[in-house]
Amino acid sequence: MEHVRAIQHGGDDSLANLALACQRCNAYRGPNPTGIDPKTDEVELLFHPRTDSRKEYFRFEGPMIVGLTSKGRTTVRVLNMNEQRRLLLRQRLIANNEFP
């Protein structure tokens, strides 16, 4: 369990501010609530797993996760959701009909 909003940014230890996160994603995100949208170069909030709808912000194109909005694109970029090892794992899961 990790904080969605870091303590130093006003977050707390309530369940509403905690979410499951892999160690790699949490390390990429760090305490940052924002990132830079790769399309607009504007600062954007990251996806909030407790309040945002995944279907609104992301879709799969094969093994790739595509951001559908500024927030989605920014989150994909900051969390490095399409790094090579993740793509390879998703490709294997797809080949075995285990994904998504």
Show the tokens assigned to 61.
């194109």
CA-CA distances (angstroms) from residue 17 to 1, 7, 64, 83, 93?
10, 10, 27, 26, 30
Runs of H (alpha helix) within 32-99: 54-57, 70-78, 84-95
26-73 pLDDT, tens per residue?
888 888 899 999 999 999 999 999 999 999 999 999 999 999 999 999
Instruction: Tell me the whole-structure pTM to 2 decimals.
Output: 0.86
Domain ranges of the chain: 31-95
Residue with tokens 């969390």: 79
Cα–Cα distance for residue pair 73/37, rounded to 1 Å:
6
